[in-house]
Amino acid sequence: MPQAIGIREQSVAATVHAVVRAARDVLSDPEPGTWSMEAVALAAGVTRATVYNHFRSRTDLIEAVLDTVVARDRMDRLVEVSADADPVVALRQAVARTCRFWHAERPLLRRLFATAYADASVEALLRRREGWRREQLAVLLGRVGGVPSRAAARTRADVLLALTSFPTYDRLAGSTDGPGRTATTLNQLVSALLAGAHA
Residue 71 CA: distances (Å) to CA of 66, 95, 187, 196:
8, 18, 25, 34
CA distance 76 to 122: 20
Site size with a copy of itself, rule: CB under 8 A: 29
Stretch that binds a copy of itself, among 10-18, 21-29, 81-89, 115-123 (CB under 8 A): 115-123
Does residue 128 bind a copy of itself (CB under 8 A)?
no
CB 172, CB 106: distance < 8 Å? no
| Comparison of 82 and 109: residue with beta carbon closer to a copy of itself | 109
**From 4, 31, 34, 84, residue interacting with a copy of itself (rule: CB under 8 A):** 34
**From 28, 68, 121, 165, residue interacting with a copy of itself (rule: CB under 8 A):** 165
Q: Please, which residues have CB within 8 angstroms of residue 97's CB and are 6 or more apart in sequence?
A: 75, 78, 81
Q: Please, which residues have CB within 8 angstroms of residue 89's CB and are 6 or more apart in sequence?
A: 82
Residue 129 CA: distances (Å) to CA of 8, 69, 107, 133, 154:
34, 13, 18, 6, 18
Does residue 159 bind a copy of itself (CB under 8 A)?
yes
**Which of 144, 120, 107 lies closest to 31, judged by CA?**
107
Give the one entry of DNA, a copy of itself, none that residue 30 binds, where binding means its C-beta sits below a cut-off of 5 to 8 angstroms depending on kind: none
**Which of 68, 53, 70, 57 lies closest to 20, judged by CA?**
68
| Closest distance to DNA from the beta carbon of 114 (Å) | 12
Site pattern 138..157 for a copy of itself (x: CB under 8 A): -----------------x--
Kindly tell me the burial class for residue 141, based on how many C-beta atoms sit within 10 Å of its own C-beta (0-12, 13-18, 19 or more).
Answer: buried
| Comparison of 27 and 183: residue with beta carbon closer to DNA | 27
The residue ranges that bind DNA (CB under 7 A) are 6-12, 15, 34-39, 45-50, 52-54, 56-59
Which residues of the shown chain bind a copy of itself in the complex (CB under 8 A)?
32-34, 110, 113-115, 117-118, 120, 155, 158-159, 161-162, 165, 167-168, 171-172, 174, 185, 188-189, 192-193, 195-196, 199
